[in-house]
Amino acid sequence: QSVLTQTPSVSGAPGQRVTISCTGSSSNIGAGYDVHWYQHLPGTAPKLLIYGNNNRPSGVPDRFSGSKSGTSASLAITGLQAEDEADYYCQSYDNSLSGSVVFGGGTKLTV
Amino acid sequence: QITLKESGPTLVKHTQTLTLTCSFSAFSLYTSGEAVGWIRQPPGKALEWLGLIYWNDEKRYSPSLKNRLTITRDTSKNEVVLTMTNMDPVDTATYYCAHSRPRYHDFDFWGQGTLVTVSS
């Protein structure tokens, strides 16, 4: 069971907007630690999509955006494209048990 | 451009020790603010963080696996080594190493991953 909770699956039609949620607790997201998002296509390495809650690395389209509030965070994808079909993971840091990196359980996006 | 690549055995036996090497380029693990992490993904399951080694040789390990894990760096090469003892079939997974930015605790560059199967 993952420390960060994500909805197992979401779906949307091409062109639509979807959001993926990530719920944590007072020892991770709620403690002020940044949330990051990764896109993972089968057979490839995960790709950093959003870092520091709402920042996009160079090359990531502005269709992807992140937000954080309290003990939760969200990834929004607008103008859905077929190529966006992938697994999405949130990640943060947790200050319990000597400090550790924590991942969400992942959300499968179907377009 | 930062690159990383994992290498090691693809098959290990139950109770054996796994040793994986992460070879990287375009950064130095002796430079302040750099870190390398290990993450794995069992087939059909989520990503799981294993551990981190920082530029100052500080290490952090997953609480659930810390008794089995050791992460070291090679002083003469740009390499980081992950050792996991007492392997079990449930440890079958794709193992990734990734560059980490301690400022953010994120992983901005990843290796391609290597599938390790543990036989019973």
Between the two ends of chain A, the Cα-to-Cα distance in Å is 26
Q: Which percentage of chain B shows pLDDT scores above 70?
A: 100
Q: What is the pLDDT of residue B14?
A: 95
Which position has the higher pLDDT, A96 or B3? B3
Q: What is the pLDDT of residue A2?
A: 86
Interface test mutation site (partner B, options A3, A20, A40, A48, max chain B beta carbons within 10 A): A48
Q: Over 80: is that where the pLDDT of A26 sits?
A: yes
Interface of A with B (CB under 8 A): 2, 33-34, 36, 38, 40, 44-48, 51-52, 57, 89, 91-93, 97-106
Put simply, whether B71 touches A (Cβ < 8 Å) is no
Q: What is the DSSP letter of B17?
A: P
Q: What is the mean pLDDT of residues B6-23?
A: 97
Q: What is the pLDDT of residue A99?
A: 76
A33-73 pLDDT per residue, tens: 999 999 999 889 999 999 999 999 999 999 999 999 999 99
Length of chain B: 120
Q: What is the pLDDT of residue A96?
A: 86
Put simply, whether B44 touches A (Cβ < 8 Å) is no
Cα diameter, chain A: 44
CA distances from B32 to A28, A73, B27, B56, B57 (A): 24, 29, 11, 7, 11
Are B110 and A98 inside 8 Å of each other by CB?
A: no
Q: Over 90: is that where the pLDDT of A18 sits?
A: yes
Q: Over 80: is that where the pLDDT of A98 sits?
A: no
Count Cβ neighbours within 10 Å for each residue of B31-69 and write b for 16 or more, e otherwise: eeebbbbbbbbeeeebbbbbbbbbbeeebbbbeebbebb
Q: Which percentage of chain B shows pLDDT scores above 90?
A: 89
Closest CA to A92 of A44, A40, A42, A25: A25
Q: What is the pLDDT of residue A1?
A: 79
| Coil vs helix vs strand at B99 | strand
Contact residues on chain B for A105, CB-CB shorter than 8 A: 46
Q: Over 90: is that where the pLDDT of A16 sits?
A: yes
B17-30 pLDDT per residue, tens: 999 999 999 999 98
- CB nearest B105 (choices: A44, A98, A101): A101
Q: What is the pLDDT of residue A84?
A: 97
Q: What is the pLDDT of residue A23?
A: 97
Of the pLDDT bands very low, low, confident and very high (cuts 50, 70, 90), residue B7 is very high
Mean pLDDT score of chain A: 95
Mean pLDDT score of chain B: 95
Q: What is the mean pLDDT of residues A27-33?
A: 95
Interface test mutation site (partner B, options A55, A100, A107, A108, max chain B beta carbons within 10 A): A100
Of the pLDDT bands very low, low, confident and very high (cuts 50, 70, 90), residue B112 is very high
Q: Under 8 Å CB-to-CB from B45, ≥6 apart: which residues?
A: B93
Put simply, whether B57 touches A (Cβ < 8 Å) is no
